[in-house]
Amino acid sequence: MNMGKITGFTLIELLITIVVVSILIATGVPSIRDFIKNNRLTAQANDLIIAVQVARNEGLKRGSGTTICASTDQASCNVADKNWRNGWIVFSDLNRDGAPDVGTSACLPTEDCMLRTSTGLSGTSTMTATVDRIRYLPTGMPEPSDLPLVGSVRRAGFTLKSSDCKGNQARNITVTQQGHTIVSSIACP
């Protein structure tokens, strides 16, 4: 019988391995948390951007006005409320009064039509804006009177952030006077 050398790990080797794995997990978990938070904010910003683009594109397609506005009940606009956290609606706005006069039929060309609704932001995110609504003209450009004058340019601004925002995790969404949307990461306010 040949008694060869028994191979395996020593207690010291196992402890070193456990320490190294613990360090890797400790440094990786905060990064994963930030990654998830950034993805959530990006998805929420994209929801608003899609709604703004729907309002603009439907105005062009229909050859009539459309409106996007803050809404808590997904049926009417919150007049003078610039908090978009609880949702928004997009609707054709034939008389351009900024209020959804939605008929009972399936979006006849002679009546306003609800185009898109959103129940707002999930989690602890907040969104504030410089406007309570944006009305689009049939040309795809926003109604100039809906956009506040910032410097020498008219534009609407939205700020999206989570409650535990840090670094450059907040998002700024700008709608230009030409109707384009621009998104950028900004420092937490």
Topology of domain 34-186 in CATH is minor pseudopilin epsh fold (3.55.40)
* Cα–Cα distance measured from residue 86 to residue 145, given in angstroms and rounded to the nearest whole number: 24
Looking at residue 70, its pLDDT comes to: 92
Look at residue 3 in the predicted model and tell me its pLDDT.
Answer: 62
Give the pLDDT of residue 133. Answer: 92
- CB atoms inside a 10 Å sphere around CB 165: 20
pLDDT at 188: 85
Q: For 26-52, how does the pLDDT look when each residue is reduced to its tens digit (9 = 90+)?
A: 877 777 888 888 888 889 999 999 999
Predicted pLDDT of residue 78:
86
pLDDT at 134: 93
The residue with tokens 């395996």 is: 8
Residues with pLDDT less than 50, the chain? none
